[in-house]
Amino acid sequence: MSPTLREDLRQTKPFATIYEEAHLNVARTSARLGDAVEDLLKDHGITGTQYNVLRILRGSEPDGLCRNALRDRMINRMPDMTRLLDRMEEAGLVTRSREREDRRMVLTRITARGLELLDELDAPIAANHEAQLGHLSSEELRSLIDLLTAVRNRA
């Protein structure tokens, strides 16, 4: 049998509330799933946050997105999006350009190099997701998605 969260954390006392236990279960599971993805991405020279930016920008092609629209679509909050985009632009993964109509608007787009990197990562990331979640049935996955959506919508 798989260890409970208390066993996994080597916690001897019970959780203060069932809400605390549920919250910590979500946080610990998220960390475990994310760590495996980060390890995979590290071999390709990018972080999970950079991967998230690239995926969002691929989906916004050919229009691109302004910094704030990109920030709002991120999975994790990103307080310094400008610095992140600076690093990604230096690495040749994104480009930024001012719009002619409104010079204040700077659009970010994925480069050919960024698209190639995502193409390389699509299969390994999909395999990682299946390895992590493939032991659950489709019905269990749908239930998990629905429960997490309900929690997220109230947070």
**81-115 b/e with 16+ CB inside 10 Å = b?**
beebbeebeeeebbbbeeeeeeeeebbbbbbeebe
- Joined together, the tokens standing for residue 89 give 């632009």
**Between 39 and 101, whose confidence is greater?**
39
Answer yes or no: is pLDDT of 68 > 80. Answer: yes
Mean pLDDT across the stretch 83-103?
A: 88
**Between 99 and 138, whose confidence is greater?**
138
Answer yes or no: is pLDDT of 40 > 90. Answer: yes
Answer yes or no: is pLDDT of 99 > 80. Answer: no
pTM for the full predicted model? 0.87
DSSP E strand boundaries for 64-105: 65-66, 94-98
Answer yes or no: is pLDDT of 91 > 90. Answer: yes
Q: What is the pLDDT of residue 71?
A: 93
Residue spans per domain, the chain: 47-154
Model confidence band, residue 102 (pLDDT cutoffs 50, 70, 90): low
Answer yes or no: is pLDDT of 9 > 90. Answer: no
**CATH number for domain 47-154, candidates 1.10.10.10, 1.10.150.20, 3.40.50.720, 1.10.3720.10:** 1.10.10.10
